[in-house]
Amino acid sequence: MESCHGSACAKKYLADLQCADDIVWVGSAGSRFCHLTAFISSTSSKFLTSRLYAEKLTTRGLCAVAQCESLRYKLIGGLAVRRACYGVLRFIMESQAVGCEVIVSGKLRGQRAKSMKFVDGLMIHSGNPVNDYIQKAVRHHKKISFINNAKVDHCQMCSTDAKDLAGVCD
């Protein structure tokens, strides 16, 4: 959206930021939030004003980024890969997702790299509805001798009736 006043044109951007842990972004008594606002204002033009709004996620299970971070911290903490992935998969499916896919790759055990894939429910992989209904997130966990990658995809649709999804997923 552009608004022109005289010869100066300014573009308005709306960026949506959602976080599962609002204390990290807001800080104690909103101090971190004020610092973020000041930083964004200083990096943008001096004629533009910046306003930030924070909103806590209502359903953390339907946010792929939050679940990927959760999986990453479980793996850093030393939890077994299979147990961590099934925990994330179960949490996503209990949050009324239609389908979910969790992939962890890298050196899971020993020296050989492999990938483990965990799938539950109904997922679509092709066509334009993928852009509308699938949320994807990838996080990397770097150690001294190797890198593990965690990828979480989940499908959320307006209708969870299997008859309604049959036409979309064919």
Q: Does residue 153 fall inside a structural domain? A: yes
Q: Does residue 52 fall inside a structural domain? A: no
Answer yes or no: do 90 and 147 share one domain. yes
Cβ neighbors of 73 (< 8 A, separation 6 or more) are none
Q: Does residue 33 fall inside a structural domain? A: yes
Answer yes or no: do 68 and 149 share one domain. yes
Count how many domains the chain has.
Answer: 2
Answer yes or no: do 30 and 100 share one domain. no
Answer yes or no: do 38 and 85 share one domain. no
Q: Does residue 30 fall inside a structural domain? A: yes
Q: How far apart are CA 146 and CA 102, in angstroms?
A: 20
Tokens matching residue 135: 């949320």
Q: Does residue 138 fall inside a structural domain? A: yes
Answer yes or no: do 102 and 142 share one domain. yes
Q: How far apart are CA 92 and CA 100, in angstroms?
A: 7
Q: Does residue 29 carry a pLDDT above 60?
A: yes
153, 64 contact by CB (below 8 A)? yes
Tell me the pLDDT tens digit for each residue of 35-85: 777 777 777 666 566 677 666 667 788 888 888 888 988 888 888 889 999
Q: Which CATH number covers residue 121?
A: 3.30.1140.32
Task: Say what the pTM is.
Answer: 0.66
Q: Which domain holds residue 29?
A: 2-43
Answer yes or no: do 73 and 157 share one domain. yes
Q: Does residue 130 carry a pLDDT above 60?
A: yes
Q: Does residue 55 fall inside a structural domain? A: no
Tell me the pLDDT tens digit for each residue of 77-112: 888 889 999 999 999 999 888 999 999 998 877 788
